[in-house]
C-alpha cells in the first residue's frame, strides 16, 4: 500500500442546516493555506457555497469538495447540505468518505439532521466524531448540548475536549487526551497555557471517565486499568484511535468556526485519529453475481464510483468519483459497467470548490473528476475494461412532495424534459413522471424549497421558465348497479345515412379489475364486423366519465342485442351507438367517484404518536398497525391522496422535523358523497373558467 494512501483522509462534514459545517470547512481550508482568504457564507464569498441560489439563501444546496494539507497529510473535505430539502446528498455522498465529522450547534443541541447523519454513519459503518460548534454564541452551553445527545445516538459519545470560558468569554480548549490547555487570540492563534484552576476538578473527573471509556475499547488495557495500573500516554492515544476506527464510541470536540477557536485541534484530530482509505479497508463489489472485495491497492485494476455530478450548460458535465482500487493517469479509457459503455477521458481533475485543477495521476482513495463524459452519471461504477465490477450505490431519500409543472412558452416546452433530466443527474433525489391520466408533468422532491430551487436552476442554467401547482388528484369513476340500455344512432342526411343500434348491459366489477367486454350477440342481429366498433365506442366514452370527466373503471359491458341497416350501418355508426349506450347506462347505474388511497409509513419518535394519529383520523386515514424501529415508532396507515398532498410540511411541523414518511399507491376507494359533490363542482367550475 502506498504512503500517499496512508496519509490521505476523506472527511465528510455533516449536520443540521445552520450548524456551521461550511464555515468550519472554510476555516480549515484557510488555516491550512489552501485558500488565500477566509470565505464567508454570510458575505456570499464562500469557496464551498458558490451557486447563485446558495449565495441568495445563505445555505448549502449541494455537496462541495475541496482539499488541504495538514501535518504532511492530504485531506479531502466533503461539505454536505443540512437543510431537509437537500439532505439526501448527505446520504448518497457518504460512501465516498472514510470518516464523518458530525457538527452540532452549542445553542440548539442535537438537531434532527445531525442525528440522522450519525444514523447514516451506522448504515455505512463509518467512524464518526462530533464537533460542538458556536461555543462563543449567547446561550451556548456545552453540558446541555451533551445532554441533548443522551439516548439519541450510538455508539456512545466520549468527551475528549472541554471549553475554557462560556458564551462571549469562550477563548480556549482543554484537551483531555494530552491534558494540555490552549488559549486563542483574536486571530485564532493558539498559545499553550496551564489548565485554569477553576476547571481542574472538572478536568480530573472527565479525564478519568475518558480513560475508562478508552480502556474498554482494548481488552489488555481494560485489564490493566481494572488492576489500578496507570495507562501510558502512548497506550491511551493508540486505544483512542483504535476505538474510533472500530466505531466503539464517538469522540466529542468543541470550538468556534467564527472565532477560529479549536479548529487547528480538530484538523490535527482528523489526521491523527480518523481513518485513511487503508484503515477503511476493502469495498464490497459484484463481479457478475459473485460478491467480491476490492482492496485500496494501486497495483490492482482500476475501479471507482461516481457519487456526484455537476451540470454546467457551458462547461459541460463534471463527474466526481472516488477511486477504490488501482490508479489513473491523465487520460485514457474506462468501462462504465452500470451502463455497459466505454468512455474516454482526456483530463483528470482535482476539485477545489467551484474550481478544478488538472492533475497527472490519482490512486486509491482519491476523490477526483472527469468532464464531458457522454453516458456516465451519479451512482455509476467505472473501472478497468479487463476487470468489470459493479458497486452498489447509496439509495437517495424518497421524494415526499410533488408539483405539476408546465412550461411558460412553447419554446420552453421543447427543452423542459431534457433540462430536467440533466438536473436529475445532478440531484437523484428528484424524480420526474408524466401522469398519463391527468396529462401533467409531475416533479417530485424532498420539499417545496427543493422544488423551487430546482425551478430556479432551470431558469438560470437552461433558460427554461415554468409554472407549478399542486398536481391534479387522479380520481376515477365507476358504477354500483347493473343496468341494461339501448344505444341507438340514426341519422339521415341525403344519400347514405348512419344507423347503429345496440343493447348494452353494464355491471360493476370488483375494485381493480378494470374493464371487460363481452360479446353475447346471437343470430347475427349485429354483424360480426361491427361488434369491435361498439367496444371501441364504450372504451373511448369511458375515458371521460359522466360525473366529472374522470376515467370510468371496474365495469363489464355486455352487448347482447341490436339491429342494423344493410346500407346505412357502418363501424362509425356502431361506435357512436356504443358510446351513447355507455353514457346512458352510467347515469342509471348509480355512478360514484373513486379516489386514490395511499399507503403511508410514518417513522416518528414516541412523543409525537398521539398528534400524528389524531391528524391521520382528521385526514380520513385508517391506521393499519404500528411497529418499533430502534428508538422510533413506525405507523402504517391508508390515507386518501387528496388529504396528504402537502403532508411533508405538516409532519415537519408536528414532529419538529423528526418525523419521516414514505408513501405508495394502495388502491382506489369510493369518495364520500359530500366530498364527491365538492370535487365535481370544482371540476365544473374549472371547466367554465377555462371557457
pLDDT in tens, 291-310: 999 999 999 999 999 999 98
Residue 314 has pLDDT above 70, yes or no: no
- Tell me the backbone φ, ψ of residue 545, rounded to 5 degrees: -65, 170
Strand partners, 442: 404, 433
Q: What is the pLDDT of residues 245-277, one digit of tens each?
A: 999 999 999 999 999 999 999 999 999 999 999
Looking at residue 53, what is its pLDDT? 66
Looking at residue 49, what is its pLDDT? 67
3-state secondary structure of 289: coil
- Which DSSP category does 217 fall into? T
Looking at residue 77, what is its pLDDT? 97
Whole-number Å distance between alpha carbons of 32 and 24: 13
CATH number of 3-280: 3.40.50.300
Residue 239 pLDDT level (bands cut at 50, 70, 90): very high
Burial 57-73 (b: 16+ CB within 10 A, else e): bebbbbbbbbbbebeeb
Query: Could you tell me if 418 and 407 are in contact, meaning their C-beta atoms sit under 8 angstroms apart?
Result: no
Looking at residue 435, what is its pLDDT? 82
What is the gyration radius of the CA atoms in the chain, in angstroms? 32
Half-sphere exposure of 107 (CA within 13 A, CB side): 11
CATH fold of 476-589 reads: Ribosomal Protein S5; domain 2 (3.30.230)
CATH number of 402-469: 3.30.70.870
Q: Where does 462-590 show beta strands of DSSP type E?
A: 466-469, 476-479, 483-491, 498-508, 515-519, 555-563
Whole-number Å distance between alpha carbons of 387 and 326: 11
Whole-number Å distance between alpha carbons of 94 and 120: 8
Percent of the chain with pLDDT over 90: 71
Residue 1 has pLDDT above 60, yes or no: no
Q: Residue 509's Cα: distance from chain center in Å?
A: 39
Whole-number Å distance between alpha carbons of 166 and 175: 16
Whole-number Å distance between alpha carbons of 133 and 156: 19
Whole-number Å distance between alpha carbons of 231 and 238: 11
Half-sphere exposure of 536 (CA within 13 A, CB side): 11
**Nearest partner of 294 among 379, 389, 393, 362, judged by Cα:** 389
Note the helical H segments in 373-466: 410-426, 448-462
Whole-number Å distance between alpha carbons of 227 and 43: 56
Query: Could you tell me if 643 and 585 are in contact, meaning their C-beta atoms sit under 8 angstroms apart?
Result: no
From residue 319, give the alpha-carbon distance in Å to each of 155, 373, 417, 425.
34, 8, 21, 10
- Which DSSP category does 20 fall into? S
Query: Could you tell me if 109 and 9 are in contact, meaning their C-beta atoms sit under 8 angstroms apart?
Result: no
**Nearest partner of 397 among 363, 364, 443, 431, judged by Cα:** 431
3.20.20.70, 3.30.70.240, 3.90.180.10, 3.30.750.24: which CATH number matches 596-675?
Answer: 3.30.70.240
Task: Determine how many CB atoms are found less than 10 A away from the CB of residue 451.
Answer: 21
Task: Determine how many CB atoms are found less than 10 A away from the CB of residue 630.
Answer: 9
Looking at residue 46, what is its pLDDT? 75
The bridge status of strand 431-435 relative to strand 440-445 is antiparallel
Q: What is the pLDDT of residues 190-210, one digit of tens each?
A: 999 999 999 999 999 999 999
Domains 402-469 and 596-675 share a fold: yes
Starting at the earlier edge strand, list the strands of the sheet with 466-469. Answer: 431-435, 440-445, 401-407, 466-469
3-state secondary structure of 542: helix
3-state secondary structure of 80: coil
Residue 316 host element (H or E): strand 316-325
Whole-number Å distance between alpha carbons of 12 and 35: 19
Q: Where does 16-72 show beta strands of DSSP type E?
A: 64-70
How large is the average pLDDT for residues 558-574? 92
CATH number of 283-383: 2.40.30.10
Whole-number Å distance between alpha carbons of 22 and 62: 11
The overall average pLDDT reported for the chain is 91
- Which DSSP category does 494 fall into? S
The bridge status of strand 99-105 relative to strand 128-133 is parallel
* Domain limits, the chain: 3-280, 283-383, 402-469, 476-589, 596-675
Question: Quick one: three-class SS letters along 134-162?
Answer: CCCCCCCCHHHHHHCCCCCCCCCEEECEE
Whole-structure pTM value: 0.85
Q: Give burial (CB, 10 Å; 0-12/13-18/19+) of 220.
A: exposed
**Nearest partner of 100 among 108, 91, 109, judged by Cα:** 91
Instruction: Name the region of 634 (left: φ>0; alpha: ψ -120 to 50; beta: rest).
Output: beta
Residue 311 pLDDT level (bands cut at 50, 70, 90): confident
Looking at residue 40, what is its pLDDT? 74
Whole-number Å distance between alpha carbons of 53 and 60: 9
The region of weakest confidence among 314-318, 328-332, 551-555 is 314-318
Looking at residue 660, what is its pLDDT? 86
How large is the average pLDDT for residues 582-587? 96
Whole-number Å distance between alpha carbons of 102 and 154: 13
Q: For the chain, how many helices (H) and strands (E)? A: 18, 34
Q: What is the pLDDT of residues 603-637, one digit of tens each?
A: 998 889 999 999 999 999 999 999 987 778 999 99
**Nearest partner of 161 among 178, 147, 149, judged by Cα:** 178
Whole-number Å distance between alpha carbons of 392 and 214: 34
**Nearest partner of 179 among 211, 157, 151, 150, judged by Cα:** 211
Is the dihedral angle over the CA atoms 85, 90, 91, 93 positive or is it negative?
Answer: positive
How many residues are present in the chain? 691
Amino acid at each position: 500500500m502506498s504512503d500517499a494512501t496512508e496519509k490521505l483522509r476523506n472527511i465528510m462534514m455533516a449536520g443540521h442546516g445552520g450548524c456551521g459545517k461550511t464555515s468550519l470547512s472554510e476555516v480549515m481550508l484557510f488555516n491550512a493555506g489552501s485558500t488565500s482568504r477566509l470565505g464567508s457564507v454570510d458575505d456570499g464569498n464562500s469557496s464551498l457555497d458558490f451557486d447563485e441560489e446558495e449565495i441568495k439563501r445563505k445555505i448549502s444546496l449541494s455537496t462541495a469538495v475541496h482539499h488541504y494539507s495538514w501535518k504532511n497529510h492530504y485531506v479531502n473535505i466533503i461539505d454536505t447540505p443540512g437543510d431537509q430539502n437537500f439532505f439526501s446528498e448527505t446520504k448518497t455522498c457518504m460512501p465516498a468518505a472514510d470518516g464523518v465529522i458530525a457538527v452540532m450547534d452549542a445553542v440548539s443541541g442535537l438537531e434532527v439532521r445531525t442525528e440522522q447523519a450519525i444514523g447514516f454513519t451506522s448504515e455505512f459503518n463509518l467512524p464518526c466524531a462530533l464537533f460542538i460548534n458556536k461555543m462563543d454564541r449567547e446561550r451556548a452551553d456545552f453540558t446541555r448540548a451533551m445532554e441533548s445527545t443522551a439516548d439519541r445516538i450510538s455508539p456512545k459519545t466520549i468527551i475528549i475536549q472541554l471549553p475554557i470560558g462560556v458564551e462571549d468569554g469562550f477563548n480556549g480548549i482543554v484537551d483531555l487526551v494530552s491534558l494540555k490547555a490552549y488559549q486563542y487570540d483574536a486571530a485564532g492563534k493558539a498559545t499553550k497555557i496551564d489548565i485554569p484552576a477553576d476547571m481542574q476538578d472538572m478536568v480530573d473527573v472527565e479525564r478519568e471517565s475518558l480513560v475508562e471509556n478508552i480502556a474498554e475499547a482494548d481488552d489488555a488495557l481494560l485489564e490493566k486499568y481494572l488492576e489500578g495500573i496507570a495507562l501510558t500516554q502512548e497506550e491511551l492515544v493508540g486505544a483512542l484511535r483504535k476505538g474510533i476506527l472500530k466505531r466503539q464510541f464517538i469522540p466529542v470536540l468543541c470550538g468556534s468556526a467564527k472565532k477560529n477557536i479549536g479548529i487547528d485541534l480538530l484538523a490535527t484530530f482528523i489526521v491523527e485519529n480518523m481513518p485513511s482509505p487503508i484503515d477503511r479497508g476493502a469495498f464490497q463489489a459484484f463481479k457478475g453475481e459473485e460478491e467480491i472485495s476490492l482492496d485500496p491497492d494501486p497495483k490492482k485494476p482500476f475501479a471507482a464510483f461516481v457519487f456526484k455530478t455537476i451540470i454546467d450548460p457551458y462547461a459541460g458535465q463534471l463527474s466526481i468519483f472516488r477511486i477504490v482500487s488501482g490508479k489513473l493517469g491523465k487520460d485514457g479509457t474506462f468501462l462504465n459497467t452500470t451502463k455497459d459503455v466505454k468512455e474516454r477521458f482526456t483530463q483528470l481533475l482535482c476539485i477545489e470548490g467551484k474550481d478544478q485543477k488538472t492533475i497527472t495521476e490519482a490512486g486509491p482513495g482519491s476523490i477526483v473528476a472527469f468532464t464531458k463524459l457522454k453516458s456516465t452519471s451519479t451512482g455509476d461504477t467505472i473501472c478497468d475494461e479487463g476487470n468489470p465490477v459493479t458497486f452498489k450505490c447509496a439509495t437517495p431519500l424518497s421524494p415526499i412532495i410533488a408539483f405539476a409543472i408546465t412550461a411558460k412558452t412553447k419554446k420552453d416546452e421543447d427543452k423542459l424534459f431534457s433540462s430536467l433530466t440533466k438536473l436529475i443527474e445532478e440531484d437523484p433525489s428528484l424524480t420526474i413522471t408524466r401522469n398519463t391520466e391527468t396529462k401533467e408533468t409531475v416533479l417530485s422532491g424532498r420539499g417545496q424549497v427543493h422544488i423551487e430551487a430546482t425551478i430556479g436552476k432551470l431558469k438560470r442554467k437552461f433558460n427554461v421558465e415554468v409554472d407549478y401547482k399542486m398536481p391534479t388528484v387522479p380520481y376515477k369513476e365507476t358504477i354500483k348497479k347493473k343496468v341494461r340500455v339501448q344505444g341507438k344512432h340514426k341519422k339521415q342526411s341525403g344519400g347514405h345515412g348512419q344507423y347503429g343500434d345496440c343493447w348494452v348491459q353494464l355491471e360493476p366489477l370488483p375494485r381493480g379489475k378494470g374493464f371487460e367486454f363481452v360479446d353475447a350477440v346471437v343470430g347475427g342481429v349485429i354483424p360480426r364486423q361491427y361488434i369491435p366498433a361498439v367496444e371501441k365506442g364504450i372504451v373511448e366514452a369511458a375515458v371521460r366519465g359522466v360525473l366529472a370527466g374522470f376515467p370510468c373503471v371496474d365495469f363489464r359491458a355486455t352487448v347482447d342485442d341490436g339491429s342494423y341497416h344493410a346500407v346505412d350501418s357502418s363501424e362509425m355508426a356502431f361506435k357512436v351507438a356504443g358510446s351513447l349506450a355507455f353514457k346512458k347506462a352510467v347515469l342509471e347505474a348509480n355512478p360514484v367517484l373513486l379516489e386514490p388511497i395511499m399507503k403511508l409509513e410514518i417513522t416518528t419518535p414516541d412523543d409525537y404518536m398521539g398528534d400524528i394519529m389524531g391528524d391521520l383520523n382528521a385526514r380520513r386515514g385508517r391506521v393499519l398497525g404500528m411497529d418499533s424501529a430502534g428508538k422510533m415508532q413506525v405507523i402504517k396507515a391508508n390515507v386518501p391522496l387528496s388529504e396528504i398532498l402537502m403532508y411533508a410540511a405538516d409532519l415537519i411541523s408536528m414532529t419538529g422535523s423528526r418525523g419521516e414518511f414514505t408513501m405508495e399507491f394502495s388502491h382506489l376507494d369510493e369518495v364520500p358523497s359530500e366530498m364527491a359533490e365538492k370535487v365535481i363542482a370544482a371540476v365544473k367550475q374549472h371547466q367554465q373558467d377555462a371557457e
